[in-house]
A and B are shown apart, each in its own frame.
Chain A
Amino acid sequence: MAFTDYYKILEVPKDASPEDIKKAYRKLARKYHPDLNPKDKEANKRFQFINEANEVLSDPEKRKKYDKYGEDWAHADQFEKARESQRSTRQQTEDPFAGDFGSGEYSDFFEQMFGAGSRTRSAKFRGQDYQAELHLSLRDAARTHQQTLTVNGKNIRITIPAGVEDGQVIKLKDHGGPGANGGPNGDLYITFVVEPDPVFKRSGNDLYTTIPLDFYTAVLGGEVMVETLDGKIKLKVKPETQNGTRTRLKGKGFPIYKKEGSSGDLYITYNILIPQNLTHKQKELFTELSKLK
């Protein structure tokens, strides 16, 4: 476990006054606060450290302990024991909203020195919102099904409706962190990550796929088997089909979210395969054909 330099995090010198620390915290908080940096995991992480640094350096008792034992944190527990008998009530945190993000998420260093969640608060606050990611294959995202998630040791069974999009977020109310001082629980936000599929590309509710088409069927017309999400279907190919021709299969695309029975379209692009390793006879016939132009 590495030493965490809280002065460096708040960008203040070691002899900074409480007022300087407060100013530095507010300045950095305005830059990295999760409310101002939505979906920015890096900023959220940085804010947690800033919050943690502020919690230590703005509390004279904690700051004293940190200054004395900071780099030698492993011996901090001895200090703690000696202080235990003298300790009265902890100083209350000045900022009632400071703990709303990242509370309960302290660095190992902080927990070792100060214990987890040591702050006290008078106001009631909603618990922390949790974020979770759920990875789905494209084909799983195309069907309504149930999955069990484990979030902070609790199993939560959810129904995933067909048609969820990559990056879509759903909220499970009250499944977040517990509230403080009797406040309500936070919410759980689940972001779906739909993995790319080797056959189909998705854009909105439409699917795109490219299929190989042999040269003779492209020239003379015929039939070809095409894979859809519901299985294979036979498709007629018009004579003289050009390479890159796109065909639309209505209603064979991706299911539309929460509109049961409705689906987007499937677009099929033909990739015409030119014959290779021609026999002598084939070459002769192609030459003959070319003369007929």
Chain B
Amino acid sequence: MSDQEIISIETYCSYYNIEQGFIQSLEEYGLIIIRYQESGAFIQKEDVPQLERFSRMYYELNINVEGIDALRNLLEKIKNLQNEKEALKARLKIYE
């Protein structure tokens, strides 16, 4: 994996002004994947939007990490149901 695809947790936390402990908690709950290299701990850049979402839930909405985990599962279910609904709507159009 090239260096351009990863970002160090230290850099991320200092940039966004959040605690590293929060990111470690997310990892403990399996919400993000941290890659450990000799030079430190890193996350993939493509995981940044997801991490930002979790950060907003934690800092803005006061939802703890257990709550974020539960919400993530529910949001995933909602997304699947929305996709299923769209597919069914598309099939129904055939008979309209």
**Interface membership of chain A positions 246-274, coded 1 if the CB is closer than 8 angstroms to chain B and 0 otherwise:** 00000000000000000000000000000
**Interface membership of chain B positions 1-42, coded 1 if the CB is closer than 8 angstroms to chain A and 0 otherwise:** 000000000000001110000000000000000000000000
What band does the interface of chain B fall in when counting residues whose beta carbon is under 8 Å from A?
20 to 34
Q: Which residues of B contact A95 (CB under 8 A)?
A: 59-60
Q: Which residues of A contact B93 (CB under 8 A)?
A: 196, 201-203
Are A30 and B63 in touch, CB under 8 angstroms?
A: yes
Q: How close is B21's CB to chain A, nearest CB, in angstroms?
A: 16
Name the residue among A96, A98, A204 with the largest chain B CB count within 10 angstroms.
A96
Nearest residue, chain A, Cβ from B74:
A36
Name the residue among B49, B71, B90, B91 with the largest chain A CB count within 10 angstroms.
B90
Are B17 and A123 in touch, CB under 8 angstroms?
A: yes
CA distance in complex: A6, B93 (Å): 43
CA distance in complex: A125, B12 (Å): 11
Majority SS at the chain B contact face:
helix
Interface residue A167 (Cβ < 8 Å from any Cβ of B): yes
Interface residue A174 (Cβ < 8 Å from any Cβ of B): no
Interface residues of B in 69-96 (CB under 8 A from A): 71, 75, 78-79, 82, 86-87, 90-91, 93-94, 96
Are A29 and B60 in touch, CB under 8 angstroms?
A: yes
Nearest residue, chain A, Cβ from B59:
A97
Q: Which residues of A contact B60 (CB under 8 A)?
A: 29, 33, 95, 97-98, 100
Q: How close is B71's CB to chain A, nearest CB, in angstroms?
A: 7
CA distance in complex: A253, B65 (Å): 47
Contact A100/B56 with A123-B16, A124-B15 known, Cβ cut-off 8 Å: yes
Nearest residue, chain A, Cβ from B56:
A97
Are B56 and A39 in touch, CB under 8 angstroms?
A: no
Chain A: residues with Cβ within 8 Å of the partner, total of 28
Q: How close is B43's CB to chain A, nearest CB, in angstroms?
A: 15
Interface residue A166 (Cβ < 8 Å from any Cβ of B): yes
Nearest residue, chain A, Cβ from B57:
A35
Are A39 and B91 in touch, CB under 8 angstroms?
A: no
Are A26 and B17 in touch, CB under 8 angstroms?
A: no
Nearest residue, chain B, Cβ from A171:
B49
Contact A26/B75 with A39-B82, A96-B17 known, Cβ cut-off 8 Å: no
Nearest residue, chain A, Cβ from B55:
A97
Contact A26/B62 with A36-B71, A97-B56 known, Cβ cut-off 8 Å: yes
Instruction: Using CB atoms and an 8 Å cutoff, list the residues of chain A in contact with chain B.
Output: 26, 29-30, 33, 35-36, 38-39, 95-98, 100, 122-126, 166-167, 183, 187, 196, 201-204, 208
Instruction: Using CB atoms and an 8 Å cutoff, list the residues of chain B in contact with chain A.
Output: 15-17, 49, 52-53, 55-57, 59-63, 71, 75, 78-79, 82, 86-87, 90-91, 93-94, 96
Please, could you name 19 A-B residue pairs with CB atoms under 8 Å apart, sorted by A?
A26-B61, A30-B61, A33-B60, A35-B56, A35-B61, A36-B61, A36-B75, A38-B75, A95-B60, A97-B55, A97-B56, A97-B60, A100-B56, A123-B17, A124-B15, A166-B90, A167-B86, A196-B93, A204-B87
